[in-house]
Structure 1
Amino acid sequence: MKNNIAHDERIAHLTFASVYPHYLAKVEKKGRTKEELQQVIAWLTGFDDKMLEEQITNKVTFETFFQNAVLNPNAELIKGVICGYRVEDIENPLTQKVRYLDKIIDELAKGKKMEKIMRSTQ
């Protein structure tokens, strides 16, 4: 993904709370649960349920959300296309992290097994 400063800025200033209901609706529509959604978010970010709820309640931006997160070391194993871009080719670190999140939520909604989504290396 080529540098697109306006796009990256827009993503940085979006609040996680404004997008979370869409994530939840997407996975529930496909028969997955809120608990599964929170499990994959926890895998990527290190947030437990309480910490995730605080991010939502405080209406943090994606920039703050990922500053507060401890990204899973296996996140770099997330590959593929989301929103028309290959996540591994995205140059802006924050935009890439947001797209990692989008990608694993998309995989959850598509019925992929949790072990695959969470890039188990066992």
Structure 2
Amino acid sequence: MSVDKISEAKINLLDALKDIEHQIKSLSQQDPLFGFISSKYIKCGRENCKCKQSPKALHGPYFYLRLEPEYKFSKYLGRKVPSSMKDRISVGSNIKELERKRKKLSSTLDNIDYF
């Protein structure tokens, strides 16, 4: 690969990194949540309830928010997930994806600098 092509590739990578940084900064202002929503079906405590006899008769779904790090924290959301919560989680997912791309581009840039 010629020096001109390496320089051009490096410039393109730097531009892409700058664009990703701008996107991350913009998304970070939208109050992101880093986690996911899970659902559970549960047995109630009533003795005569049909959920005691049949796994198909469980109550739910009930939704929970699981947050990073390691998704250990959970918060009960109820029978319906607020749309604002879905939007915030989507923003958080987009930021994480952009950070993965940034890391990959930075690694590629480091490899170009190595040669």
TM-score range, shorter chain: under 0.3
Q: TM-score when scaled to structure 1?
A: 0.25
Q: Which is bigger in relative contact order (C-alpha 8 A, separation at least 6)?
A: 1
Larger Rg over CA atoms: 2
Hey, which of these two has a bigger chunk of strand by percent? Answer: 2
Q: TM-score when scaled to structure 2?
A: 0.26
Hey, which of these two has a bigger chunk of helix by percent? Answer: 1
